[in-house]
Structure 1
Amino acid sequence: MTITWTEANLPNPPEGADLPMQQHPTHGAVCAALGRAVYWLEWRDGRRVMATAQVLRRDWPLIGGVALVSRGPVLAPGLPTETARDALAALIATLRAGHRGVIVTPEPVAGADPMAGGPWLSMMTGGHVARLSLAPGLCALRAGLHQKWRNRLRRAESGGLAVAETALPDDPGHWLLREEAAQARARRYGRLPPAYALAWALAGETLLVSAQAGDRSIAGMLFLIHRPWASYHLGWSSPEGRAANAHTLLLWRAMIALKARGIAALELGLLDTETAPDLARFKLGTGAAAVPLGASWLDAPGSRAVAALARAAALPLRRLSR
């Protein structure tokens, strides 16, 4: 099969394909609005779209233009692993024609990384993301909650909190963005800037769920919708909100609201059981599955030689471990 990638005006993902946030058109529109260079490629077999790729371009000092395909390309469901591998090889070759380097983080195909064992250099191994299917009915979703999670939900539901469900307004000074920014500075964690969430609210769909005690906002969570999926984006809770299990209640209400909008799955972010075990347990307590992600792979001048040396060095170690 000859695989040819051509430039497209906008991504038209294969029918029935999963669509991570990083490959959704809204993500591309937001990145473009924030000054990033974005373009799209597609592979067609006749009229059928077999795969699409949303590409971000960045110019690195001393290196030049680098293309990034994060959690992509988006492949047609049921594509054989070998065909997926050929499609990725063709995509990388196409991108290398206009860039000094290419970084690709593909989604696993049939449970395996389609680029594993190839000539490309592995920069970072894949982690796991918490993904919750919203396909079951509400009773089944609630039954799927872990016991301790469900107990906290019951306590929160009986606590008298008022819950609001809205879209994120076009307000750079919104209280949730302000509180979460202060939280990020205090805890020293990295995340996308508030401008990203605001740009998403203008270009696409958001769900903001918040909890009030009297006239005080004590917790909030923001979700970005990228149909057919949605992703948790940011959240904040005051000490009062934590004592009231507000985030447990808000996440449950978000699950209900997103399911009502026809969202098939909710991604709750990366799982870090070493440095954030409590957060990982909270995510998995919803009944979410720990879904593996693909590694990050580099193709650039000299990278294939380094990859070959790394594979040659690893071979004796594998033999010794047998």
Structure 2
Amino acid sequence: MTIAWTEAKLPRPPEGAGLPMQQHPTHGAVCTALGRAVRWLEWRDDGRVMATAQVLSRAWPLVGRVALVSRGPVLAPGLPTETARDALAALIATLRAGHRGVIVTPEPVAGADPMAGGPWLSMMTGGHVARLPLAPDICALRAGLHQKWRNRLRRAESGGLAVAETALPDDPGHWLLREEAAQARARRYGRLPPAYALAWAQAGETLRVSAQAGDRPIAGMLFLIHRPWASYHMGWSSPEGRAANAHTLLLWRAIVALKARGIAALELGLLDTETAPDLARFKLGTGAAAVPLGASWLDAPGSRTVAALARAAAFAQSRISR
């Protein structure tokens, strides 16, 4: 099968495919607004869209222009693993024509990384993301909550908190952005800048859920909608909010609201059971599944030689350890 990737204008992903945030056109629009170069490619077979790729491009000092395909390309459901690997190889070859290097982080195909065992250099192993399907009815979703999670939800629901569900306003000084930024500095964790959330609110859909005690906000969460999926983006809770289990209530209210909007799945972010086990348990307590992600792979001058040497060393070590 000949696989040809061609330029496209905001291509529609293959029918029935999920759409991670990093491959959604709104993400591309936001990156463009923030000064990043974005392009779109697609592979068609007899008029049918088989795969699409949103590609970010930037110049790296001393390296040159590098292309990034994060959590992509988006492949047609049911595509055989070998065909997926061929499609990825063709995409990399297409991008190498105008880039010094290409980094691809593909989604697994049939539970396996389609680039594993290929000639590319693995930069980082894949992690897991918490993903909650929203197809079941609300009663089934609530029944799917872990017992302790459901108990905290009941306590929060009986606590008298006022909950609001709105879009993120176009306000750089909004209290949720301000409080979350201070929280990030205090806890020293990395995240996308507030400008990203504001640009998304201008270009696409958002859901902000917040809890108040009296006239004071005590907790908030922001979700970015990238149909047919949505993603948790940021959250903040005051000590009062934590004592009232506000985040449990807000996440449940978001689940209900997103389902009502026709969202098929909610991604709650990466799972880190080593440095943030409580957060991982909170995410999985919703009934979400731990979904594997593909590794990050590099194709650049000399990378294939390094990858071949690494494979040879691994093979030799496996022979020695037998």
Say whether the fold is shared (TM-score over 0.5).
Answer: yes
Once the two structures are TM-superposed, the CA of residue 46 in structure 1 deviates from its matched residue by: 1.8
Once the two structures are TM-superposed, the CA of residue 316 in structure 1 deviates from its matched residue by: 1.9
Structure 1 CA distance, aligned partners of 2:89 and 2:155?
Answer: 52
Instruction: Name which of structure 1's ranges 311-320 and 110-119 shifts more when overlaid on structure 2.
Output: 311-320
Structure 2 CA distance, aligned partners of 1:125 and 1:102?
Answer: 17
Once the two structures are TM-superposed, the CA of residue 11 in structure 1 deviates from its matched residue by: 2.2
Q: Deviations over 1:208-248 (max 9, x none)?
A: 00000111100000000000000000000000000000000
Q: Deviations over 1:100-137 (max 9, x none)?
A: 00000000000000000000000000000000010111
Once the two structures are TM-superposed, the CA of residue 321 in structure 1 deviates from its matched residue by: 4.1
RMSD: 0.6
Structure 1 CA distance, aligned partners of 2:290 and 2:320?
Answer: 31
Instruction: Name which of structure 1's ranges 279-288 and 6-15 shifts more when overlaid on structure 2.
Output: 6-15
Partner of 2:9: 9
Partner of 2:226: 226
Structure 2 CA distance, aligned partners of 1:13 and 1:170?
Answer: 29
Q: Deviations over 1:244-276 (max 9, x none)?
A: 000000000000000000000000000000000
Q: Deviations over 1:14-73 (max 9, x none)?
A: 111110000000000000000000000000002100000000001001110000000000
Structure 2 CA distance, aligned partners of 1:136 and 1:308?
Answer: 46
* Structure 1, gaps ≥5 residues long: none
Once the two structures are TM-superposed, the CA of residue 312 in structure 1 deviates from its matched residue by: 0.2
Once the two structures are TM-superposed, the CA of residue 318 in structure 1 deviates from its matched residue by: 2.2
Structure 1 CA distance, aligned partners of 2:25 and 2:201?
Answer: 13
Partner of 1:156: 156
Displaced runs of 4 or more, over 3 A = none
Structure 2 CA distance, aligned partners of 1:112 and 1:123?
Answer: 17
Q: Are 1:129 and 2:161 matched, yes or no? A: no
Name the SS of the counterpart of 1:123 in structure 2: strand
Structure 2 CA distance, aligned partners of 1:154 and 1:119?
Answer: 52
Once the two structures are TM-superposed, the CA of residue 5 in structure 1 deviates from its matched residue by: 0.3
Partner of 2:176: 176
Name the SS of the counterpart of 1:57 in structure 2: strand
Structure 2 CA distance, aligned partners of 1:33 and 1:145?
Answer: 38
Structure 2 CA distance, aligned partners of 1:154 and 1:41?
Answer: 47
Name the SS of the counterpart of 2:86 in structure 1: helix
Partner of 1:65: 65
Once the two structures are TM-superposed, the CA of residue 12 in structure 1 deviates from its matched residue by: 1.3
Structure 2 CA distance, aligned partners of 1:239 and 1:10?
Answer: 43
Once the two structures are TM-superposed, the CA of residue 9 in structure 1 deviates from its matched residue by: 1.4
Using a 3 Å threshold, how does the CA distance of structure 1 residues 162 and 43 change in structure 2: closer, same or farther?
Answer: same
Partner of 1:100: 100
Partner of 1:54: 54
Structure 2 CA distance, aligned partners of 1:99 and 1:131?
Answer: 33
Once the two structures are TM-superposed, the CA of residue 317 in structure 1 deviates from its matched residue by: 2.0
What percentage of aligned pairs have identical amino acids? 92
Structure 1 CA distance, aligned partners of 2:197 and 2:119?
Answer: 37
Structure 1 CA distance, aligned partners of 2:315 and 2:7?
Answer: 39
Structure 1 CA distance, aligned partners of 2:176 and 2:230?
Answer: 19
Once the two structures are TM-superposed, the CA of residue 10 in structure 1 deviates from its matched residue by: 1.2
Name the SS of the counterpart of 1:132 in structure 2: strand
Structure 2 CA distance, aligned partners of 1:230 and 1:218?
Answer: 24
Structure 2 CA distance, aligned partners of 1:166 and 1:317?
Answer: 56
Once the two structures are TM-superposed, the CA of residue 320 in structure 1 deviates from its matched residue by: 3.8
Structure 2 CA distance, aligned partners of 1:242 and 1:320?
Answer: 52
**When the two structures are superposed, what TM-score results if normalisation uses the length of structure 1?**
0.99
Using a 3 Å threshold, how does the CA distance of structure 1 residues 37 and 126 change in structure 2: closer, same or farther?
Answer: same
Structure 2 CA distance, aligned partners of 1:62 and 1:198?
Answer: 32
* Structure 2, gaps ≥5 residues long: none
Once the two structures are TM-superposed, the CA of residue 319 in structure 1 deviates from its matched residue by: 2.8
Partner of 2:76: 76
Structure 1 CA distance, aligned partners of 2:6 and 2:195?
Answer: 31
Once the two structures are TM-superposed, the CA of residue 88 in structure 1 deviates from its matched residue by: 0.1
